[in-house]
Amino acid sequence: MALRSEYRSAQKKSVKITLKYLPLHSMGNEDVLESVKEYCKVWSMVNYSNNWYNGHITNICNGDRFVYIAASDLDKVPDQINIGEYRARIFRPNAITTCKQCQKEGHCSNDDSCPTRAL
Ligand SMILES: [Zn+2]
C-alpha cells in the first residue's frame, strides 16, 4: 500500500522529456538512460517516440526517445546532452510546440485549435 502511494506521487511529479536527433539503430536505450541519469532522477524506461503523420500517430520510430524524469530535476537537464558520439537535443514540456500541420506555434497538430482542423 505504502509502495503504491509512493509510486503514485512519483508519477505525479514526473515530467516527460524528449531527446531528439538520435540514431534509431546504432544506439541502445541503455546508453541514453545512462547519459540522462547523470543529470536527473529517471522514473521510467527510455522509450522510442513514434512519428506523427497527418495528425495521427504511426508505428514508425525515428530515433527520438522520451523518458519520464523527476520534475524537480527538470532545471538540471541541459538543452543538449552528449550521448556517445551523438548530441541529443532535449525538449521539455514547457517548450513551445510547433504544429506540424500549419507550422504555427502554441498547439499540437491534433489540437482542435489548429485552423487546418476546420477544413
Ligand atoms: Zn496547427
- 58 alpha carbon – ligand 1 mean position (Å): 18
The full DSSP string for 1-20 is -HHHHHHHHHHHTEEEEEEE
User: Which option is the CATH number for 2-91: 2.40.70.10, 1.10.3720.10, 3.80.10.10, 3.30.70.330?
Assistant: 3.30.70.330
CA 101 / ligand 1 centre spacing (Å):
5
pLDDT of residue 78: 94
Convert the pLDDT of each residue in 5-34 to its tens digit.
Answer: 655 554 568 889 999 999 988 889 999 999
As a whole number of angstroms, the distance between CA 43 and CA 57 comes to 24
Q: Where are the domains of the chain?
A: 2-91
Measure 34 CA to ligand 1 centroid, in angstroms. Answer: 35
What is the C-alpha separation between 69 and 16, in angstroms, rounded? 6
Taking the centre of ligand 1 as the mean of its atom positions, its distance from the CA of residue 104, in whole angstroms, is 6
Low-confidence ranges of the chain (pLDDT < 70): 1-12, 94-96, 118-119
Q: Kindly report the pTM of this predicted structure.
A: 0.65
